[in-house]
Structure 1
């Protein structure tokens, strides 16, 4: 064990038991105001006095630098010398808002993700924030779940790579960070946020924990425990995960913080009978900070006095919190907001340019029958509820403001240098059936050359606590598109969403589909650049797009069954009823993982291995030639997949093992190389070890998980 910092141990020696318990307690900033009165809200303070709240060790939801400065001053007036640490959900930007994390992952560009996280950290740190509750690396296989928008999608390898990039960016920008939600929060039954999860030990280790484990390598300051049930017990009742796995096996020595109210919810779940039991359960799970409930503050001192809790163990937790504060420099500087610096950098042109670039690389071109890119001389009819809507920047927009957002209409006007009219046609309301605006939209579009329809779901219909049973486009929007299609004009859909929407019904109504997700401050600027060809689409899907909600959960790296349906067609079409599938739906997604078009085309050829067999201490070099066969420069995301054909446990049909963004000029070819080692092939074997087993493997490479070249090799002892 490393020698402890005497400065910190001296602080601990001078603390009472009550001080120590409060150091492990976090409350929202709106619980403290200038006159030291508790701001009552939707939750109960449960005996926490004003004095106790003033002495908590950390605060969340800092409003701005001036508020943080005022709270620091109040604490000093009350004789509290320990520096307060301010935390906030900085998820995809602070004031300059970037595309949602699900969209950013579609770029397959970790350098871009790192830079955007750095910018978010710079802005947040300048406004008094010390730490963010990000990255979220939960595995997302069910698009009905609203929080897929915060994830990197359905692949654990990609999730880990994106998570590490966010951590590096936050650290480079001066912000501490928190990996969340540990663990398996993304497996909520029915895609319902906060619902129970039931995951086998194998799936937990093989898929749901992989990204968290990778993130430990970048030394995040915190991990956040999730508040869901896992296999019949709340997560904080799983010390085999929080202690044995996270701390002992992975070596994480930072702070474990609970999710909001999670400790008290041990009681609501029906697991712990009293607040005292809640505190003891969390304490034994090595939880360091209790967020937004007072079980630690009200019970830990007595538990120590009664000999139930060892004070040395309490001191260890306090030390981890103080060490985090020290790592952030809070004991070395008199921190106060530099308003001149903050105002100079916030939402500056450099940061706006980065936000535009991020959205350009995040939008996925799902369909294009030659309509895109648009000619700037074309007469377009810009219609739809999101044509001139500012609330397209994302659910977790921190301090971002709608007034700062560039709408699609504004982006097109700036691109064309002229005024463009628009017509809503209908509401973005999920349950709206109001068609009163259809006639005006149809009249508006009659004389156009091309219809650009901006449709989708509102940004507040995804995100935390916003799950959906039906993820099709809202019915009124589909009806509007059917009316517009009768005009016989080319139709371009720009689709907004925080999840993959089921677009089966509207795909035949469109000649092109650009999936814009929720794109941040410069969303409209980037969309205009893509529509008119000033930027070329390159993004790829990181979640499978279901044909219908009933297919969820659906993901590419599934297992083969003993009765596969070769055609994947519905039984009513194939007559194949004794195989896996539906009577009334295809097995395959509408768009597979890794899918995305460009304004040029790419061809893969000449897949080669430098050897057919590999020993455990060896490696195989794979190469493939990628050729830009179109007349535009473009970027292809080359994806490498592997399948272990026979193993001690059944392996997925494909698993992403590597990717590379390859820029190619029109007509240019490049050879792309991929190295295979034993570690590339490792998995959790039947014996529970993370290892590779000898045998035969398939190697795939292509522009998506479905359309690949294939070859084979063997691992030998």
Structure 2
């Protein structure tokens, strides 16, 4: 399956259209009259206790008391993954006085039973159609066991790899992040569940990369960079929003009336519901903006939070606040209506619950495994390949595989594994052993050290195996538990003693292929100078070992690209490609914006990735947009595969606004297309950018496209050369766009 996502407006609009399953379901901003009448009738019958129940999410455990469901005091439940248990809970809820079904949810971050590469890896595919397909599989498996909702995707933009949760997002770029958000939401809906876009908003800009830390983001930057992926996800059918943990410009996100009520609900017309993050309402007391549990509940509710995750503050504190007149019943009813609206739109009141006995047959199917294997191949970035060391076949006869991660299923699975099982996972060791047994080469394996590599006890054996081999494959990187919530790092090299192990393997003089497992960009400066071939595998999922083997032996050519800039040193962070030019851009002059002890340039730039073949661009033609709402910038180029292998190129289009009322980034990604070409094949590719994607926000919040000169850059990464430009003439009333509109 392949869709053309080069045109933002068409792409997001098409995604929004696909997720409308029937005339009875509505998109945010519009209300179906029949559903609203049913909501009116139900709310009129509800007691305050039942209303607050709909506004409360509980956590499932094997000893869950079914009386909570029967009493109607719980609206949603998280972390249940057993289909029989889910069916019992749902049956109990339907026995309640009003028979309101419970929204069942889980952290389905990159798959349910079948795990796909972690989200940062999926973003590296630069393939929204693939992301949509894998999300659809995640939705199907989740729906099969009785889930309705996932607490994903995370659409936070982040430019700081010290933050451990970059593993859950799409990286640093607003355009790529918006496309990935829309694709994930669409795929999940097509699979049968709804999404919760998180973490709203600014969580990815945590100061010093330290999780839960405060963020300071000017309003213009917030609207131009951090808000658009949320808007794109809503346009694609995102039904719920999760408020973030962080304080934004001094106001905790959970109590931020401007972001939750003004922007989200009033400006965007969002009519789904907002849920807090885990315990984030009671944490308003630790933020210092609430002096009691009651005040915390009041502030969160009145700011725009509709559902309390895990904290039970709404159920405990709001009755007295309503009685005292501090919380109006109208606000309670608004929150309840939002929850019920989501449930009615999902059809929960009308459709039968899934048969738990049928669930297993729909999990980890051969088709899902094949999709996971293909996704692994498409998300692994080839960073270095000196002398065309890769692919291996038919070069190496004796291979030494080194590294505890090569045999560790958890490191392949990554964080947030949902219902996946280690025994389902194909490791790199298992995949290479299977190939060795099929003939063609001999494989030896030495652990060297565990995945965390705190001991050198196995180093001598690993070096001995390497010395006896023709080639070494070293599987190193971050253990799975180092890349998730609460995993901020100050050092971004290979953890613990891994660097020492790698240096000893290289010292054998044998060619070394480094396969890196990670949930973020790491500073691999030494490896980039001394290791001839590097594959950045992220956490590649259930079929990760097979995907890695497919690339190592040339069954496929790497085609992924970096969704985040890879730094040379932690001191460069935050490092990202679309920075402002400054008044003294970096030169050899001492008094310019540069470091005196390190290069300004990153180790590897955003959008970078190699292939086993070569691509050439020619015959670039630029058609300037007409100065009206239908105006579209078109850039056409002939892309040729000049190598001897089939491969895929990611053609990237960047634009720079040279002179504007505000300083503009040195370039911004505006379109891309992934093109598959056979050896010697060429194709004409046209990338399109609507004129209202060329603007930006003003201080007062308005969006504007300004006249002037624009430069166009085209190539294989963010260092793409300039290929021309165009002029938007003065004296024209250019069409603006509503804030962060992507449709």
Same fold by TM-score greater than 0.5: yes
8 A contact 1:627–1:668 mirrored in 2? yes
The corresponding residue for 1:699 is 712
* Secondary structure of residue in 1 paired with 2:57: strand
Alpha-carbon distance change, 715 to 12 in structure 1, aligned in 2, over 3 angstroms: same
Matched residue, 1:128: 146
**1:362 CA drift (Å):** 0.1
Q: Equivalent of 1:635, from 628, 631, 648?
A: 648
Q: Is 507-516 or 385-394 further displaced after alignment?
A: 385-394
Runs (5+) with no aligned partner, structure 1: 37-49, 567-573
Q: Distance between the aligned counterparts of 1:532 and 1:216, measured in 2? A: 41
Q: Is contact 1:383-1:423 (8 Å) kept? A: yes
Change (3 A) 1:78 1:668: closer
Contact 2:698 2:704 in 1 (8 A): yes
**In the aligned structure 1, how far is the partner of 2:158 from the partner of 2:246?**
15
C-alpha displacement at 1:132, in angstroms? 0.4
Aligned to 1:22: 53
Name the CA distance, whole Å, in 2 between partners of 1:290 and 1:544: 36
Write the mapping of 1:340-355 to structure 2, written as runs, cut at 5 A: 340=358, 342-355=359-372
Q: Does 1:363 align with 2:386?
A: no
Decide whether the 8 Å contact of 2:494 with 2:524 is kept in 1.
Answer: yes
Deviation string 1:294-326 (CA, Å, 9 cap, x unpaired) is 221112222222222221221121111112112
Verify the 8 A CA contact 2:52 2:73 in the aligned structure 1.
no
Matched, 1:291 2:309: yes
What secondary structure does 1:398 align onto? coil
Q: Which residue of 1 aligns with 2:616?
A: 603
668, 671, 684: which one aligns with 1:655: 668
Instruction: Note if contact 1:263-1:278 (Cα within 8 Å) is conserved in structure 2.
Output: yes
| Cα distance in 2, alignment partners of residues 709 and 360 from structure 1 | 31
Please report the TM-score for the alignment, with normalisation by the length of structure 2: 0.90
Matched residue, 2:195: 177
Residue 518 of structure 2 is matched in structure 1 by: 497
**SS of residue in 1 equivalent to 2:337:** helix
Contact kept in structure 2, 1:27 and 1:53, CA below 8 Å: no
Distance in 1 (alpha carbons) for counterparts of 2:664 and 2:70: 53
User: Within 1, Cα distance between the matches of 2:71 and 2:599?
Assistant: 56
Q: Distance in 1 between matches of 2:529 and 2:228?
A: 39
SS at match of 1:713: strand
Paired residue for 2:413, among 393, 407, 412?
A: 393
Q: Which residue of 2 aligns with 1:239?
A: 257
The alpha carbon displacement at 1:86 in A equals: 0.7
Q: What is the total number of aligned residue pairs between the two structures?
A: 692
Q: 1:487 and 2:508 equivalent?
A: yes
Distance 1:177 1:687, change over 3 A: closer
> In 1, distance between residues paired with 2:71 and 2:537?
43
User: Is residue 253 from structure 1 mapped to residue 271 from structure 2 by the alignment?
Assistant: yes
**Unpaired stretches in structure 2, ≥5 consecutive residues:** 1-29, 733-743
* Counterpart for residue 5 of structure 2: none
CA distance in 1, matches of 2:54, 2:65: 21
In 2, Cα distance between equivalents of 1:51 and 1:360: 44
Distance 1:66 1:309 in 2: 39
Separation of aligned partners in 2, 1:119 and 1:241? 32
Counterpart of 2:88 in structure 1 is 70
Using the alignment, how far apart are the partners of 1:420 and 1:378 within structure 2?
8
Structure 2 residue aligned with 1:507, among 513, 517, 528? 528
Distance 1:95-1:337 versus aligned 2 partners, 3 A rule = same
CA shift, 1:76, in A, is: 5.8
Distance 1:25 1:379, change over 3 A: same
Change in CA separation of 1:256 and 1:409 when aligned onto 2, cut-off 3 Å: same
Instruction: Report the aligned-residue RMSD.
Output: 1.9
Distance 1:281 1:53 in 2: 27
Matched, 1:564 2:577: no
Q: String of CA shifts for 1:366-389, please: whole Å, max 9, x gaps.
A: 000111000245211111222222
Instruction: Quote the offset at 1:69 in angstroms.
Output: 2.1
Q: TM-score, normalised by structure 1?
A: 0.93
CA contact (8 A) 1:407 1:524 kept: yes
Distance 2:533 2:210 in 1: 32
Query: CA separation in 1, counterparts of 2:279 and 2:653?
Result: 42
Q: Contact conserved, 2:381 with 2:537, CA < 8 A, in 1?
A: yes
Give, in whole Å, the separation in 2 of the partners of 1:304 and 1:98: 46
The alignment status of 1:403 with 2:415, answered yes or no, reads no
Deviations 1:42-84 (A, max 9, x none): xxxxxxxx79997211111113111212323455667573211
Q: Is the CA contact 2:256–2:303 (under 8 Å) kept in the aligned structure 1?
A: yes
Candidates 388, 400, 414, aligned match of 2:434 = 414
Mapped partners of 1:687, 1:312: distance in 2 = 31
Partner secondary structure for residue 452 of structure 1: strand
